Amino acid sequence: MKKMITLFSVAGAFLLVFQSCNKLDHRHGAPVTTKETVNATIAANTGYSYALPKIGNGSQSKITVSAHHAFISMIVADNNGGAVYQYTPASDYSGTDAVVITTTGEEQNGGCSHGNSGHHHDNDEDDKTTVTTINLTITSAPAALAKPATNSASGQTY
């Protein structure tokens, strides 16, 4: 009887570990898209920068909808391997402008490993995309009166 209980316990634990790994396998490869909106107010003839989200070690950001009233609108690398969007409005422009930036990468998941069984998922990665819309209001007011940027999803001020 004791051997039977031990056998069922071991079999149950094996099934639990195997089932957990299967759940991870079903998520693998399913792309995840997150959208964020940033609203910023800047003064005419001043610059604006926004640190883009970093996804895993190989994320890439690109402008998918260009700003229409920009003198400078570009993505540059920062010192930590991330990307920063930089914007300067056209000379003396006041009004609104917007840019959409898509960042893609692979987010690494904690995988599962089953010893010597040959069943390993330690480097599972899921495709992830973040679409960032930056809405800019350019005022003719001095820079001291410009409002800080606010991320609508998190409420964080930049």
pLDDT in tens, the chain (158 residues): 565 555 455 555 444 444 444 444 444 557 889 999 999 999 999 999 999 998 887 889 999 999 999 999 999 999 888 899 999 999 999 999 999 999 999 876 655 544 454 444 445 567 899 999 999 999 996 555 555 566 655 666 65
Could you tell me the residue ranges of all domains in the chain? 2-151
- Structure letter (DSSP) for residue 142: -
Q: Which two tokens stand for residue 82?
A: 């991330």
pLDDT of residue 14: 47
pLDDT of residue 147: 56
pLDDT, tens digit, for every residue of 125-151? 678 999 999 999 999 965 555 555 666
> CA-based Rg of the chain, rounded to a whole angstrom?
24
**H-helix or E-strand containing 74?**
strand 70-77
53 three-class SS: coil
Q: Provide the pLDDT for residue 72.
A: 97
Best CATH choice for the domain 2-151 from the list 2.40.128, 3.40.50, 2.60.40, 3.90.700: 2.60.40
CA 145 to mean position of chain CA atoms: 30
- Give the containing element (helix H, strand E) for 101: strand 95-108
